[in-house]
Amino acid sequence: MNAANAGIRVNHLQKTFQQGRVRACRDVNLAIAPGELLVLLGPSGCGKTTTLRCIAGLERPDNDDAIWVGEQNITGMQPKDRNLAFVFQDTALFPHLNARKNISFGLNMRKTFPAAEIRRKVEATAKMLRVDHLLERKPSQLSGGQAQRISLGRAIVMEPAAFLLDEPLASLDAALRVEMRAEIKQIQRKLNTTMIFVTHDQEEALSLGDQIAVMNEGVVLQVGSPASIYLKPANLFVARFIGSPPVNQFECELVQDGGGYGLRCAWFEVSLGAEAATLIDAVGGKVTLGVRPEFISIGSEGGDIEGRVTLVEMLGSRSVILIEAQGREIRVSTQGGTTVKEGDPVQLTLTMDRAFFFAPDGRALVG
Ligand SMILES: Nc1ncnc2c1ncn2[C@@H]1O[C@H](COP(=O)(O)OP(=O)(O)O)[C@@H](O)[C@H]1O
Ligand SMILES: [Mg+2]
């Protein structure tokens, strides 16, 4: 396969283990355009690594037409012929080789370039990753972040058609993770190479992805831009998995409200537009209302919900405020600081035109 920069398609991928008893991938569908960075996001055990290993050729899918690169079905192709570079969470560097030899290992094996050319490629890559001063060190003499850079370098020098990264930052501390994810995105842009980046961290996914594919229990539930996944989740699982603090959820019922419509949510009621009412009526009138913390405003009178502040978290650029209302906890997020204090009685107003409605089966209702 010699496509310099390839699009990848995963077509109804199924992969079971232990004679079908473990269904790691039930129906995974993905399309990654050449040069695109797709983040595969989902909780632990949902099938992300298995999907990536099937793409790399390290696992054989159950169906024979599962993995495509460009127009070619590569499902049965040997990993070494795929020209895809895999970077793992644990860097898996050779401990007895220095950084230079770790980076050049694959090129040396391939035997296509003369030694001087390999040297030039290794040094250019190390410079881009800002580890050119560490090339003579062994892995044990590198920090976690440095080792992960060498590991990336080892993938980059191969000039693959695509990069497959499986939670590459998971073992780094928080500050380094944030720094490295920005670097990975810049490198991906610079090389203009297709990349699939696996993570269970929704913030990492939002910050990195051109597209995010949200996976659960072996199925891709939604694919879209970070903004569309955040603002238009396809179902309750996606809405809950993305966003921190998580979306507020209320079980509600459609009611007639004078001349208009309303939603009765246990102990409070909010009015509703005719369009939303029609959607909710079509699924039997019972829905889960979802409101993100930043779409609830706090005042001292005239709100939809009465409550009392139980906790204020000042997070620098924003504040998260926990409110107790009728024994329930409601999360509110505001830009900048806040004047409310623990114990204050407050009134909350829901921004209904930013609210989500989910049918009893979890599907989002959209007009
Ligand atoms: N080689 C294997 N043998 C048996 N079960 C496996 C194997 N690899 C993965 N699984 C199972 O498949 C499911 C998905 O695993 P995995 O793809 O590693 O998830 P993730 O990477 O999203 O955490 C899990 O239930 C896991 O235990
Ligand atoms: Mg995994």
pLDDT tens per residue, range 8-54? 999 999 999 999 999 999 999 999 999 999 999 999 999 999 999 99
Q: Residues 166-182: what's their mean pLDDT? A: 90
Beta-carbon contacts of 308 under 8 Å, excluding residues fewer than 6 positions away, are: 323, 324, 325, 343, 344, 345, 346
Using CB distances shorter than 6 Å, the residues near ligand 1 are 17-18, 22, 24, 42, 44-50
State the average pLDDT over residues 142-166: 93
**Whether the predicted pLDDT of 234 surpasses 50:** yes
Domain membership of residue 38 (yes or no) is yes
Residue 289 lies in a domain: yes
* In-domain check, residue 363: no
Task: Pick the residue whose CA is nearest to atom 21 on ligand 1.
Answer: 49
Structure tokens at 4: 């310099």
| 252 shares a domain with 236 | no
Does residue 8 or residue 316 have the better pLDDT? 8
If you measure from the C-alpha of residue 56 to the centroid of ligand 2, how many angstroms do you get, rounded to a whole number? 14
What's the token pair of residue 141? Answer: 């003499």
Answer yes or no: is 366 within a domain. no
For residue 128, tell me if it sits in a domain.
Answer: yes
% the chain with pLDDT above 70: 99
Reported in sequence order, the residue ranges of 45-166 that DSSP labels E, i.e. its strands, are: 67-69, 72-73, 84-87, 162-166
pLDDT at position 120, please? 95
Q: Of 27, 39, 49, 164, which is best to mutate to test ligand 1, by the most ligand atoms within 8 angstroms of its C-beta? A: 49
Same domain? 227 vs 256: no
Pick from 17, 165, 214 the residue to mutate for probing ligand 1's pocket: most ligand atoms within 8 Å of its CB: 17
Q: Give the C-alpha separation, 50 to 14, whole Å.
A: 10
Last residue of a domain, one of 213, 241, 269: 241
Q: How confident is the model at residue 62 (pLDDT cuts 50, 70, 90)?
A: very high
Q: What is the DSSP string of 242-301?
A: SSSSPPEEEEEEEEEETTEEEEEETTEEEEE-HHHHHHHHHTTSEEEEEE-GGGEEEESS
pLDDT higher than 60, residue 229:
yes
> Distance, CA 103 to ligand 2 centroid (Å)?
24
Has residue 354 been placed in a domain? yes
pTM score, whole prediction: 0.93
Of 80-94, 127-141, 186-200, 267-281, the one with minimum mean pLDDT is 80-94
Domain membership of residue 67 (yes or no) is yes
Helix axes 99-110, 115-128, angle to 10 degrees: 130
User: What pLDDT is stored for residue 92 in this prediction?
Assistant: 82
pLDDT band at 4 (very low <50, low <70, confident <90, very high): low
**How far apart, in whole angstroms, are the C-alpha atoms of residue 272 and residue 274?**
7
**C-alpha–C-alpha distance, residues 164 and 148, integer Å:** 14
**How far apart are the CA of 198 and the centre of ligand 2, in A?**
8
Do residue 141 and residue 252 come from a single domain? no
18 and 59 in a common domain: yes
Q: How far is CA 6 from the centre of its chain?
A: 21
Q: Is the pLDDT of residue 191 over 50?
A: yes
Determine the Cα angle at 162 with ends 54 and 113, to 5°: 115
Q: Is there a single domain that holds both residue 212 and residue 258?
A: no
Q: How far apart are CA 230 and CA 239, in angstroms?
A: 7
Over residues 174-184, mean pLDDT: 91
pLDDT at 111 over 90: no
Give pLDDT, residue 144: 87
Mean pLDDT of 88-106: 90
Task: Residue 67: name the closest of 23, 13, 17, 6 by CA.
Answer: 13
Residues with Cβ within 8 Å of 129's Cβ and at least 6 positions away in sequence, in order, are 149, 150, 152, 153, 156, 183, 187
CA 71 to chain CA centroid, Å, is 27
Q: Is the pLDDT of residue 3 over 50?
A: no
Domain boundary among 175, 206, 241: 241
Protein residue closest via CA to atom 6 of ligand 1 = 17
235 and 260 belong to one structural domain: no
What average pLDDT does the structure give for the chain? 94
Tally of structural domains, the chain:
2
Same domain, 39 and 185: yes
Same domain, 227 and 280: no
Do residues 218 and 347 both lie within one domain? no
Segments forming the whole domain that contains residue 52: 8-241
Q: Given the CA of residue 167, which atom of ligand 1 is nearest to it?
A: 21
Comparing CA positions, the residue from 20, 5, 4, 51 lying closest to residue 223 is 51
